[in-house]
Structure 1
Amino acid sequence: MKQLSFILAVLISSMVWGQDYEYGKVTREQLTMESYSDDPEAEALVLYESGKAEIFEDYEGLRLYFTFKTRIKIFDKEGFDHATFEIPLYTNDSKTKTESLEFVRATSYNMDTPPTAIGDDDVLYEKYNSNYRIAKFTIPKTKEGTVFDVEYRVKTPFYFYNFHDWKFQSDIPKLYSQYITKIPANYKYNAKIIGALEFDEHTGDIERRCVEMNGGAADCEINKYVMKNIPAFKTEDYMTSKDNFISQLKYEIKETQNFHGVKQSYSKSWKDIDHEIKTSFDLGKQARKERAFSKLIPEHLASMPKGIDKAKAIYYHLQKEMNWNGENHILSDVNVKEAFENKKGNIAELNLVLLNMLKASDFEAYMVLAREREDGFPTLLYPVLTDFNYLFIKLVEDGKTYYLDISDDYLPFGMLPLKALNNYGRVIDFDNESYWDNIYMNSLSMQNIFMQYQIDSDGYMTVKKAEKNTGFLATRKRKVINKINQDSYLKQLEDDLSAHNNAVITSYKNSNAKDSDKQLQELFEIEYEDPFQEQQLFFNPLAGTLFSDNPFKLKERNYPVDFGYPRAYIYKIILKLDDAYQIKHLPENVTYNVGEALKLDFKTQQSNGMVTLDIAFYIKKAVFTPEEYQDLKKIFSEIVDITNNADIIIEKSE
């Protein structure tokens, strides 16, 4: 990530406002194009795209005009979604100012029919919420091979605060994308360049006295940013928000100056933000209620000696007592005493109750402001309070750091929900300055499975299975077990097992299904109703377990792989055979290690009519860089191959 600071200076470069594009001038080559050579699988291709954001004066005063132009080629029916456009239009809370769609035109072109344009009635307006309505239209007569042009312009009175962002990259490739900005000198912005792609062109110029108001005038800085031959951004499993990596420009207002010379700063230091949180928000006041909560701690907790066991006891007590209401309010609508009395509250209230009770017990604890994983990383370069929509607690005890969140009923002490694992969190220290923490889970979550198969002389197979899960893997399993009744849960498991043979679970019990501080244990007994009658049996005891499909399929990936937490899968499988059978083939042993972070060990052995398979698959860190992607892809390819092809060939004895 790089930062551009728009400091006006005379730049010697000239500004070219266009490329070889004119509305309606579609070529035969574009119409007959069947695929894009750089991405043959692409369902559509942006042939041209341009955005232009300008602040200038009209009869209503200063306004921001955003003009959008594009030409898109549709290759197949999967690309039809790109022929529908939705334009959000904002209205302020008082309903006194609103954005408007000034004009729109769109025309489709096909080889066998005349061009077809949308009419005024084809643009529909839908209410999205109290502040937004959506202008929506679909390109007519779109089919495989269609090329269409679209142009529209939006006028907004929110010219300085909501400057228009621009995404150069999307889920389809683009041949050309340009963004042009025209900003008066009395409006200064922080601009973030996000993503791995470089500009093919970035030029700048000055337009003198571009804005004149109230007897004053300002020059404008004009910037043009161009990218060419932009690959599609392809999402894949195990990633944070694509907004963290897709190539784009984002703007945040830093300072304004009116035509009388009065300046207004919007870019604050963290010292300013700390002071605001302490004094101006519910959050700061509600985080300092430890004196009140010292009287609310149950006696059995208050009497415990200070130490990590007491911290855990407080955590688990509140986790069981309080419920999350599904809301994430953190800067307003926070009342910890009311939440405690009602045993229910939003994410800030629940975790601030925990904070106050820990501090009342003389623990060193802090609140941490964060941003949910799916919403993108919080801005690190400068404070943006609206970036934060989540809150959890940092506990420091005996030199160790723990991150805590009581909103999830099945989360063990010292672990955060996956949605909160978003690289960074801002630790608010009321006695000192706030600071960033890197938020990673380092403890290993484990799945340990023991399975014993037995085939009798008539070909009937029975299985005894013991499964143990810890950490996040246990949390995920607990949610499944407790969400549905036991019969439904077992029916799902039977269906999965019966995909490979007709199975019935004859016995089941679990331990610690609701106790997140303990290891989750499950015991199964399974019978396969259909006997094996063939002379030769191909039997894969791993079918349907571990990973049957490789989640990593990209040729290359230029953003990190983020598992959220380290994990390990340890399987031991024993196959006992009657004397009526003999082993003809066992799968080969496999060992594949990449440093200390990735380890795969698969071993088979045979002794006295018994076959043993041992698998150990370790992913010992949560985040892998793009440079490590090929190693990940390879080791997952190996584990998928083992899962799907660990065939044991069994023959009936003569």
Structure 2
Amino acid sequence: MNRIPLIQFSFIFFGCSLMAFSQEGEWGVYSEEELSLETVPFEPEAKVVSLYEAGRTGLIWNEETYQIMGMYTESHYRYKVLDDNVGGFGTIVIPYYHAGDWNIERILELEAQVSFLENGARKTYPLKKEDIKQIDFGDGYGEYRIIFPKVFKGSILEYRYIKADRMYYTLKGWVFQGEYPKLRSKFTFEVPDFLQYQLIVPPGRVKASMSHSAKKDRFSWDLKDLRSFPLEPYISSPMDYLERIEGFLAVDATRSPATLYSTWQRLGDQIMELKEFGSYKKSVSYKNLGLKEDLFLAESKEAIAKRIYRYISENFTLEPSLFAYPSKSLSELLRSKKGNHLDIHLLLIAALRSYEIHAEPVLVNELHPLKRSFLIPSPNIDQFSSSLVKMKVDNKITYLDATDSTLPFGLLPLRKLVEKGFLLSEASSELIELTYDFDSKTELEISLELDSIGNLAFRERLKLTDLKVLALRDALAVNRDDEAPGDLDPYNVSFEDHFKDGRFIVSSYHLPIKEMDESVILLDPFTFSSFAVNPFLEQSRVYPLEFGFPIRETMNFVVELPEGYTLDEYPESISLRSDSGDMAFVFDVRFEKETLKIATDIQIQVKESISRGRYGEIRNFFQIVSEKLSEPVVVIRETAR
């Protein structure tokens, strides 16, 4: 890729400016309706409302040479606070990806102000440099953080900026829905007539509001009275359901052929014809990897593949990349031991090839809350952000991801559990269905014992397998600063990490039992369960449910009371199955020889999304589950201590 001079890229907008852009929603000028608004008619419970927002995207190009240098988007947002209690609202985050010296994205002309009421008079405070923080997260990622002061009832928060983007093959477009209701949301896309973009327009009011010029070089959308997007549990990619517009470049008349990717096979051929890709077509032996002896020999091809996979995943470091292309040649990768996802996976394929193990690369789009999960059926390389390796041994297909040294052989991260991928093959490059079979379980064994001062305590042993380990790891990464209540802290904690070789982890620990009464103790051993509280509390649901992967959760509680304690009450058994048979719950209670045993088993065998038409059934199912898991075992302490 030829680098565009930074000054040229940043400031050539050929007449566009925020001043001209903001004429309709004039900066800092508020209508009587905006000033007097106290509630949103179509969403009266809202505490914040978007009064107005508008975006305009266009191409940065040289009118003499027709050279495309990038894309820009001008954005203007205006919110009003309708309640004094609005939580964390008032800090606005604008992310960007600069990729170091590449300057892929830049934020320009950022300004913000707040209009607020003070002693009955409206005042305006333009935000200063110290109110806008720029944060660099490393690996090319950063964000601007606007910290608005004076955020209370009646305040109007306004900000605008330009994002310049060197990536113009994909139109990132506009999201009309958001966390808060919107009175009006507008978007305009302007494109020179020698380029054609394939627009992805959802049915409904987004499509109905679309208009375009006679030359189809200007497209506009104008939507009003948009309800906020409901934050419902078990949605992996909200972008699948948001009202939005996006697209990708399909025709460039300055090139030959003008159509960029006519078929999936042609797209695959273009990738495989790259010089860097071609360097990986020869086999890579252990000597090429710098080893003095063959460490990969084993009794079977699968065992060989496991050793090669482990060596490459542990000795080659992933570098961030926006592209679904190899970033360097085989020799460069072997020398630096660093590369993007496709570099590392092409190396893995070349190493497997030297042992006559068949493998091919598969491009995928990673799951992300801010990206859609499904693929566009038209050939478009920019919708892929990562890759996998499809390996076939003894007619068994296994998908591999060698970019994470902590992943065991054959297990994929949650963000890559997508339904389809783009297979790169000289025989037939095409979209393929991706199928997985992971043993993802939670197993919890619970018993009772007396602690060092004679109080009852839970002794627990927790085992997590496959995707449940990854789900826990992802959750801890997001909530690393969260702390458990001090009186419920586990103690005598031990941990066994068998994840890399056995695909499971085990932790043993003790938990104190909170005694509410001197003589009566309520035991609630199943609070660890993901469904001890019903996650589906709303009476209705707007969008389908997505569990992500099949779930199996078993818990066993054995009650053998020490002297001085007697069992007073305990729950009854129950067995439950969903109408469709894809979910089951068993709560088995047995009391034999002064020992109480409670065994629970929750199974959710759902791989695809569940339609909202089943929401009532799902809600009732988990209501029964949560109520049963919350029923206490009542113990009486007979003697005073």
TM-score normalised by the shorter chain: which range applies?
A: 0.7 to 0.9
TM-superposed deviation, 1:540: 1.7
Match among 622, 627, 631 for residue 646 of structure 1: 631
**2:345 equivalent in structure 1:** 351
Q: Could you say if the C-alpha distance between residues 361 and 583 of structure 1 is closer, same or farther in structure 2, counting changes exceeding 3 Å?
A: same
Corresponding residue SS for 2:360? strand
Q: Partner of 1:144 in structure 2?
A: 153
Q: Identify the residue that residue 274 of structure 1 maps to in structure 2.
A: 268
1:348-404 CA-partner distances (Å, limit 9, x unpaired): 343333222222222221111123322624742333333333222111233332111
Residue type of the alignment partner of 1:383 = P
| Mean Cα deviation higher: 71-80 or 609-618 | 71-80
Change (3 A) 1:111 1:426: same
- Tell me the distance in 2 between the aligned counterparts of 1:408 and 1:45: 42
Other-structure match for 1:373? 367
1:283–1:554 Cα change, 3 Å: farther
SS at match of 1:233: coil
Equivalences for 1:249-328 in 2 at 5 Å? 249-257=245-253, 264-286=258-280, 288-290=281-283, 292=285, 299=294, 301-302=296-297, 304-306=299-301, 308-316=302-310, 318-319=312-313, 321-325=314-318, 327-328=320-321
Task: Report the CA distance shift for 1:580/1:241 in structure 2 as closer, same or farther (over 3 A).
Answer: same
Match of 1:437 in 2: 432
Q: Which is further off, 363-372 or 18-27?
A: 18-27
Aligned to 2:586: 601
Shift of 1:526: 4.4
Question: CA separation in 2, counterparts of 1:558 and 1:27?
Answer: 33
* Structure 1 unmatched ranges of 5 or more: 1-16, 208-218, 484-488
**Cα distance between partner residues in 2 of 1:294 and 1:558:** 57
Q: What is the CA distance between 1:616 and its match in structure 2?
A: 0.3
CA distance in 2 between partners of 1:118 and 1:183 (Å): 37
**1: CA distance, partners of 2:90 / 2:434:** 37
Q: Where does residue 6 of structure 1 map in the other structure?
A: none
Work out whether residues 135 and 144 of structure 2, in 8 Å CA contact, stay in contact via their aligned partners in 1.
Answer: no
The equivalent of 1:446 in structure 2 is 441
Asked if residue 188 in structure 1 is aligned to residue 201 in structure 2, the reply is no
2:16 is aligned to none
Larger Rg: 1
Q: Is the 8 A contact 2:319 2:340 kept in 1?
A: yes
| Residues 136/596 of structure 1: CA separation in 2 closer, same or farther (3 Å cut) | closer
Amino acid at match of 1:518: G
The CA deviation at 1:192 is 1.1
Give runs of aligned pairs for residues 533-548 of structure 1, distance below 5 A. Answer: 534-548=518-532
User: Among residues 59, 75, 81, which one is paired with 2:82 in the alignment?
Assistant: 75
Fraction of identical pairs, as percent: 18
Q: Classify 1:65/1:604 alpha carbon distance in 2 versus 1 (closer, same or farther; 3 Å).
A: closer
Q: For each residue in 1:386-433, what CA deviation from the matched residue of structure 2 results, as whole angstroms up to 9, or x when unmatched?
A: 33332221112333321112333443332211122233321111x212
CA-CA distance at 1:267 after TM superposition? 4.7
CA contact (8 A) 1:184 1:220 kept: no
What per-residue deviation string (whole Å, max 9, x for no partner) do you get for residues 541-600 of structure 1? 223454454444556554454444322111111101246443221124343322332222
Q: Hey, what's the Cα distance between the residues in 2 that align with 1:145 and 1:468?
A: 52
Classify 1:341/1:304 alpha carbon distance in 2 versus 1 (closer, same or farther; 3 Å): farther
SS of residue in 2 equivalent to 1:272: helix
* Amino acid paired to 2:427: N
Q: CA deviation at 1:439?
A: 3.3
Counterpart Cα distance in 2 of 1:503 and 1:554: 33
1:401 to 393, 397, 400: 397
Q: CA RMSD, aligned part only?
A: 5.1
Letter in 1 for 2:52: Y
Which residue identity is paired with 1:145? G
- Check if 1:592 corresponds to 2:570: no
Give the alignment's TM-score, normalised by structure 2. 0.75
Match of 2:9 in 1: none
- For residue 517 of structure 1, give the secondary structure of its aligned residue in structure 2: helix
**SS of 2:445 mapped into structure 1:** strand
What whole-Å deviation, never above 9, does each CA across 1:586-620 have from its counterpart, x for those lacking one? 12434332233222211222233211111101122
For 1:260-295, what per-residue CA distance to the aligned partner results, in whole angstroms no more than 9, with x for missing partners? x99844455333322222221523432x23264698
- C-alpha distance in structure 2 between counterparts of 1:509 and 1:123, whole Å: 45
Q: What residue number does 2:5 align with? A: none
User: Is residue 445 of structure 2 the alignment partner of residue 461 of structure 1?
Assistant: no
Q: Deviations over 1:28-52 (max 9, x none)?
A: 6644544435445533112333445
Q: Which of 572, 579, 583 is the equivalent residue of 2:556?
A: 572
Change (3 A) 1:87 1:569: closer
SS of the aligned residue for 2:500 comes to coil
Change (3 A) 1:118 1:283: farther
Name 1:42's counterpart in structure 2.
46
Tell me: CA distance 1:613–1:89, structure 2 relative to 1, closer, same or farther (3 Å).
Answer: closer
CA deviations 1:122-171 (Å, max 9, x no partner) are: 79998788999999877775531224666x68597989867672221111
1:176 corresponding residue in structure 2: 184
1:144 aligns to what SS in structure 2?
Answer: coil
* CA distance in structure 1 between the partners assigned to 2:342 and 2:112 by the alignment: 46
Structure 1 residues 635 and 301, CA, compared in 2 at 3 Å: closer, same or farther?
same
How far does residue 190 in structure 1 lie from its aligned partner after superposition? 0.9
Change in Cα spacing, 1:114 to 1:98, as seen in structure 2 (3 Å) is same
How many residues are paired up? 602
Instruction: State the alpha-carbon separation in 1 of the partners of residues 226 and 503 from structure 2.
Output: 48
Residue in structure 2 matched with residue 424 of structure 1 by the alignment: 420
- For residues 523 and 53 of structure 1, the distance between their equivalents in structure 2, rounded to whole angstroms, comes to 52
Contact map agreement 2:458 2:513 (CA 8 A) in 1: no
Q: Please tell me whether the aligned partners of residues 66 and 164 of structure 1 are also in contact (alpha carbons under 8 angstroms).
A: no
Q: Residue 515 and residue 653 in structure 1: after superposition, are their counterparts in 2 closer, same or farther (change >3 A)?
A: closer
Question: Which sits farther off after the overlay, 517-526 or 120-129?
Answer: 120-129
Kindly tell me: are residues 184 and 81 of structure 1, through their superposed partners in 2, closer, same or farther at Cα, counting changes over 3 Å?
Answer: same
Please give the alpha-carbon distance, in whole angstroms, between the structure 1 residues aligned to 2:473 and 2:127. 54
Structure 2: which 5+ runs fail to align? 1-20
Change (3 A) 1:559 1:461: same
User: Which whole-Å deviations, capped at 9, do the CAs of 1:504-541 have from their partners, x for residues lacking one?
Assistant: 42x8574xx24533264647474869999833222222
Q: Tell me the amino acid that sits aligned with residue 472 of structure 1.
A: L
Are the structure 2 counterparts of residues 469 and 433 from structure 1 closer, same or farther at C-alpha, using a change threshold of 3 Å? same
Instruction: Give the AA of the match of 2:367.
Output: R
Offset, 1:174: 1.2
Query: What is the 5 A alignment of 1:498-517?
Result: 499-500=487-488, 504-505=491-492, 508=494, 510=496, 513-514=497-498, 516-517=500-501
Q: Distance in 2 between matches of 1:523 and 1:203?
A: 56
- Partners in 1 of 2:200 and 2:602 — Cα distance? 39
> Amino acid of the residue matched to residue 45 of structure 1?
V
Q: What letter is aligned with 1:434?
A: S
**TM-score, structure 1 normalization:** 0.74
Tell me if the contact between 1:294 and 1:361 (Cα under 8 Å) persists in the aligned partners.
no
